[in-house]
Structure 1
Amino acid sequence: MAIRKLAWRWRAACAMIVFIAAWAIYSMARPADEVVLTIGEPYEQVRRQSRSTLPPAEPNTTWGGFVIRPARLRFSDPRYSFVTPAAKFLTVSYDEHGNVGSVTLSPQVETLPLDDTMAILTDLQNQLRRGGWRLIRATENPAMTDTPAMRAEIRSRADPITYWLADDKYQIILDVRRFIHENRPNDERYLITLQLSGPPWIEDYPGG
């Protein structure tokens, strides 16, 4: 009896190991989730063309869908396209007609060290420039470049923010914040937020 019980436990343990190994292989081989959209297109069309966990739209209401598994955003406008890293927080809002009005995301799956944060900020802003987006209000809100002065500003919890326009079609607000854990005051962690919408309601200042 004891031998049969040990054999059963051994088979169960082997089955669990095989399952874990198979799941790990599947997870590595499985393409990353991706939300593909432009502002103004039908939300349900976004769900069909994306590989994501966005839920169905609520009919006849203004609302938004959240991903429950990290997904990158691929903004698919023919001219102003860009791609973000995977985001644990990503929401797509839509109007009463079911059309996409805005996207808000933090392009990361956890709060990040400053080096990783600066790498993401630099890449996103470079993509925007290459795609024809224009930085506005640059005198008071310059681009977030990887310099000692900008790093010091971010570390000081000044919460720098930048504003970008794509002609009269879209706008982006990009900002970064520092988080300090009460039990780990020296542990620097940062969160980026990107808000995409259109058409623009933010105006440039005279002289930039």
Structure 2
Amino acid sequence: MSLRSRIGGWRSGLIVVMLVLLILAAIRQLTQPLWGEPEIALEMGGTYEDMRKHSSASFSPLIRGHVWFGIPKVDAKLRFVDPQFGFTTPVARFFTVDFDDSVIFGIRMSPQIEPLLIDDALKVVLDLQDQWRAKGWVAKGLQNNPTIVDTPEWRAYLRKGILAGITYWQADDKYQVMLVVGRFEDYRNPTEERYLITLALAKPWTPFDEIEDSYDEPRHFPAPQPK
């Protein structure tokens, strides 16, 4: 093979590689919003297949059979799908979805990718509560677990690290959510106050309407009540 033929073949190969790179760059540009913030689109009572179809985040393989849980392969936010009660969360690192024979019945997650400073933790909590309130969710169990607000009293309560702040919200008889924020010892930031948020969502499991007026012993460290 002559030198000219070799050079021509090398140039042709380089052109092909450049075209492939340009195509991949164009595809990445078009899908960048999805790649930049992967999303899990989830409907309670929906199937594993539907979740994978409508989500931009890759997920653990389907395991046939009864109760099990799946985990996303990347950090991802939740988009809870419901025409009336839907909401979204920040990107999460801990995220599990509970299934029974491929049908979704529960979510457990922490809507953050690392323990947060108190300002950032309260911002996440208040945003979620605002979304639920705007969509018609109702706070429940207020006698012992009032809604969380950003006040000096609430900050002092959380900083003690004795009890976490817990709030329950319910969407008619369809869903119930428990949101918890508490002090967390972060070994990477030992001199800072860091906080961990957890969220559990499923069909209503605590009958608040039945126990709301029942007698309950006062707590030694009650959460701040609204003024």
- Place the TM-score, normalised by the shorter chain, in its bin: 0.7 to 0.9
Q: Residue 77 of structure 1 aligns with which residue?
A: 82
Pairwise CA RMSD: 2.0
Select 1:134's aligned residue among 135, 138, 163: 138
Instruction: Find the aligned partners of 1:131 and 1:145 in 2 and give their Cα distance.
Output: 18
1-side partners of 2:155 and 2:194: how far apart?
13
1:156 matched to 2:160: yes
For residues 187 and 79 of structure 2, what CA distance do their matches in structure 1 show?
A: 36
> Hey, what's the Cα distance between the residues in 2 that align with 1:160 and 1:63?
29
Q: Show the counterpart of 2:119.
A: 115
Instruction: Show structure 1 runs of 4+ deviating over 6 A.
Output: none
Count, aligned residues:
182
Matches within 5 A, 1:8-157: 29-31=32-34, 32-95=37-100, 97-157=101-161
- For 1:113 and 1:76, the matched residues in 2 are separated by 29
Partner of 1:191: 196
Residue by residue over 1:164-193, the C-alpha shift from the partner in whole angstroms, topping out at 9 and shown as x without a partner, is 111111110100121124686531111100
Give the structure-1-normalised TM-score: 0.81
Comparing both structures, which one devotes a greater share of its residues to strand?
A: 1
Q: Distance in 2 between matches of 1:55 and 1:114?
A: 32
Q: Secondary structure at the match of 1:119?
A: helix
Q: Percent identity of the aligned residues?
A: 40
Deviation string 1:7-29 (CA, Å, 9 cap, x unpaired) is xxxxxxxxxxxxxxx8xx97x93
Q: CA shift at 1:53, angstroms?
A: 2.0
- Structure 1: any 5+ residue segments left out of the alignment? 1-21
**Kept in 2: contact 1:68–1:88 (CA 8 A):** no
Question: In 1, are the aligned partners of 2:60 and 2:73 still within 8 Å (CA)?
Answer: no
Question: Take 2:130 and 2:85, find their aligned partners in 1: how far apart are those partners?
Answer: 12
Name whichever of 99-108 and 180-189 sits farther off.
180-189
Distance 1:127 1:140, change over 3 A: same
Q: Counterpart in 2 of 1:7?
A: none
Aligned in 2, Cα 1:37/1:108: closer, same or farther, shift over 3 Å?
Answer: same
Q: Per-residue CA shift, 1:84-108, capped at 9, x if unaligned?
A: 000011111100x210010111001
Q: What letter matches 2:207 in structure 1?
A: E
How far residue 75 of structure 1 moved from its aligned partner, in angstroms, is: 0.6
Deviations 1:114-141, CA, capped at 9 Å, x for gaps: 0000000000000001111111111110
Q: How many Å separate the matches in 2 of 1:29 and 1:126?
A: 29
- Letter of the aligned partner of 1:136 in structure 2? K
Query: SS state of the match for residue 161, structure 1?
Result: strand
Q: Are the equivalent residues in 2 in contact too, given 1:135–1:164 (CA < 8 A)? A: yes
Aligned CA distance change for structure 1 residues 183 and 124 (closer, same or farther; 3 Å): closer
- Contact between 1:44 and 1:56, CA under 8 Å: does it hold in 2? no
Check conservation: 2:115, 2:186, Cα contact below 8 A. Answer: no
Shift of residue 68, structure 1, vs aligned partner: 2.4
8 Å CA contact 2:167–2:178 kept in 1: the answer is yes
